[in-house]
Amino acid sequence: MTKSWRDVNVIYQIYPRSFKDSDGDGVGDLRGVITKLDYIKGGQGALGADAIWISPFFPSPMADFGYDVSDYCDVHPLFGTLDDMRTLIKEAHARDIKVMIDFVPNHTSNQHPWFIESAASRDNPYRDFYVWRDPKSDGSPPNNWLSIFGGSAWEFDETTGQYYLHTFLKEQPDLDWSNPKVRWEMRKVLKFWCDMGIDGIRADAVRWIAKDPDLGDDAPNPHYHEGMNAFESLRHNKSRYGRDLFRYLRELTDVIEEYPDCVMIFEDYPDDLESTRDQYLGFYSVNPRVSMPFNFQGMWVEWNARSVAEFVNEFQGMLLPEHVPVYCFSNHDQARLVTRFGADHARLVAVLQFTLPGLPVMYYGDEIGMENGAIPADRIQDPVEIRKRALEGGGVSPEELDEQGMYIGRDPERTPMQWDATAYAGFSTREPWLPVADNYPTINVAAELSDAGSNFALYRTLLYLRTQHPVLRSGDYLQIPDPHPDIFRYRRINSGEKLDVILNFSAGDVTIGDCRGDVICSSYMSSRPEQDSDTITLRANEGVIILRSAEQ
Ligand code: GLC
Window from 76-80, 248-252, 401-405 with minimum mean pLDDT? 401-405
Ligand 1 centroid – CA 350 distance (Å)? 24
* pLDDT above 90 as % of the chain: 89
- Cross-strand partners of 489: 502
Helices assigned H by DSSP within 437-548: 445-449, 455-468, 470-474
Ligand 1 centroid – CA 204 distance (Å)? 6
Non-local (6+) Cβ contacts of 112 within 8 A are 69, 70, 71
How far, in Å, CA of 382 to CA of 396, rounded?
Answer: 14
pLDDT at 33 over 90: yes
- The pLDDT of residue 385 is 79
Q: Tell me the average pLDDT across 454-476.
A: 98
The three-state DSSP-derived secondary structure of 232-270 is HHECCCCCCCCCCHHHHHHHHHHHHHCCCCCEEEECCCC
- Read off the pLDDT band of 399 (50, 70, 90): low
In terms of DSSP bridges, do strands 162-165 and 132-133 run parallel, antiparallel, or are they unpaired?
antiparallel
Ligand 1 centroid – CA 237 distance (Å)? 20
Mean of all residue pLDDT scores within the chain: 94
Residues catalogued as catalytic: 204, 267
pLDDT at 394 over 60: no
Q: What is the pLDDT of residues 43-79, one digit of tens each?
A: 999 999 999 999 999 999 999 999 999 999 999 999 9
Question: From the CB of 269, is ligand 1 less than 6 Å away?
Answer: no
- The pLDDT of residue 550 is 75
Q: Tell me the average pLDDT across 351-360.
A: 98
How far, in Å, CA of 349 to CA of 366, rounded?
Answer: 11
Using the atom order of ligand 1, give the atom closest to the CA of residue 68: 12
Using the atom order of ligand 1, give the atom closest to the CA of residue 64: 10
Q: How many CB atoms lie within 10 A of CB 267?
A: 20
Q: List, as one string, the DSSP characters of 356-416.
A: SSS--EEETTGGGT--PPP--GGG---HHHHHHHHHTTT---GGGB-TTS-B-TTSGGGPP
Using the atom order of ligand 1, give the atom closest to the CA of residue 67: 12
pLDDT at 15 over 90: yes
pLDDT at 549 over 90: no
Non-local (6+) Cβ contacts of 275 within 8 A are none
Q: Which of 317, 371, 328, 336 shows the shortest CA–CA distance to 353?
A: 328
- The pLDDT of residue 209 is 98
- The pLDDT of residue 406 is 53
- The pLDDT of residue 393 is 58
pLDDT at 392 over 90: no
Q: Tell me the average pLDDT across 227-235.
A: 88
Burial zone of 77 (CB within 10 Å; 0-12 exposed, 13-18 middle, 19+ buried): exposed
The SS3 assignment for 463 reads helix
- The pLDDT of residue 400 is 55
Phi, psi of 258 (to 5 degrees): -70, -15
Residue closest via CA to ligand 1's atom 12 equals 67
Using the atom order of ligand 1, give the atom closest to the CA of residue 331: 8
- The pLDDT of residue 403 is 54
- The pLDDT of residue 284 is 97
Question: From the CB of 503, is ligand 1 less than 6 Å away?
Answer: no
Question: From the CB of 204, is ligand 1 less than 6 Å away?
Answer: yes
Non-local (6+) Cβ contacts of 324 within 8 A are 288, 292, 357, 358, 359
Ligand 1 centroid – CA 488 distance (Å)? 33
Q: What is the Cβ-side half-sphere exposure of residue 513, based on CA atoms within 13 angstroms?
A: 4
Q: What is the pLDDT of residues 285-314, one digit of tens each?
A: 999 999 999 999 999 899 999 999 999 999
Q: List, as one string, the DSSP characters of 309-365.
A: HHHHHHHHHH--TTPPP-BB---TTS--HHHHH-HHHHHHHHHHHHHSSS--EEETT
Question: From the CB of 64, is ligand 1 less than 6 Å away?
Answer: yes
Q: What is the pLDDT of residues 154-180, one digit of tens each?
A: 999 999 999 999 999 999 999 999 999
Q: What is the pLDDT of residues 104-147, one digit of tens each?
A: 999 999 999 999 999 999 999 999 999 999 999 999 999 999 99
How far, in Å, CA of 119 to CA of 48, rounded?
Answer: 48
Q: What is the pLDDT of residues 364-383, one digit of tens each?
A: 999 999 999 998 888 989 98
Phi, psi of 381 (to 5 degrees): -115, -30
- Interior CA angle at 419 toward 414 and 421, to 5°? 115
Ligand 1 centroid – CA 290 distance (Å)? 22
Q: Tell me the average pLDDT across 455-471.
A: 98
Question: From the CB of 251, is ligand 1 less than 6 Å away?
Answer: no
Question: From the CB of 333, is ligand 1 less than 6 Å away?
Answer: yes
